[in-house]
Amino acid sequence: MTPIVVKVAGQPQVITSGTNNVRSYDLATGELAWKDDGLTKLAIPSPLEADGVVYVTSGYMGNAMRAIRLAGARGNISGTPTVLWSYNMDSPYVPSPLLHGGLLYFNKHTQGILSCIDVTTGKPCYSKQRLEDIKSMYASPVGVGDRVYLLSRDGVTLVIQHGTEFSILATNTLDDKFDASPAIVGDELYLRGHQNLYCIAR
């Protein structure tokens, strides 16, 4: 899990997920700004933020996903309107979700089962979508333009259409094992395997 730094009313806060809760600290003083008790144990996925809303999730010994409005968040926000929505199904254990174009993509635990949520409503566009040829994932999904890339531990990369309906565009396989998340730089896709570093480009 990687903490994130966001600005709330012009002041930076550090948001970090942990066992059973998420906390936000004032960067200058280290004082607790707010906390929410809605996560499970061993919260590995990193928080995400966009447009003043932070999204947190965990998927070990339970399922938890929450959208939290940063403006006005103070003290213990559990059960308050600051928590915009909760979705406590099929959340990831190791990979972080992908927030891309108003949609949140995430897989169940470490399995090849994908869900996609509209972050405005907290309602799923689709859920429990089985991914062909993907058994297990540690890598977080990445998105660019109209595509989302899903990399399995066995070297299968599934390219799907970004959008509210599930559609596979391509399936590619490398003879290696992968735990690290893909990185995109310009028109190049970088994959770090157990044996080699790969650069995929035209």
**Structure confidence at residue 3 (pLDDT):** 93
**Contact between 97 and 87 (Cβ < 8 Å):** no
**Structure confidence at residue 111 (pLDDT):** 97
Ranges of residues in the chain with a pLDDT under 70 are: none
Span 42-79, pLDDT tens digits: 999 999 999 999 999 999 999 999 999 999 999 999 99
Q: What is the pTM of this model?
A: 0.94
Tell me, rounded to whole angstroms, the distance of Cα 29 from its chain centroid.
28
CA contacts within 13 A on the Cβ side of 109: 8
**Structure confidence at residue 189 (pLDDT):** 95
Torsion of CA 40, 45, 51, 53, to 10 degrees: 10
**Structure confidence at residue 98 (pLDDT):** 98
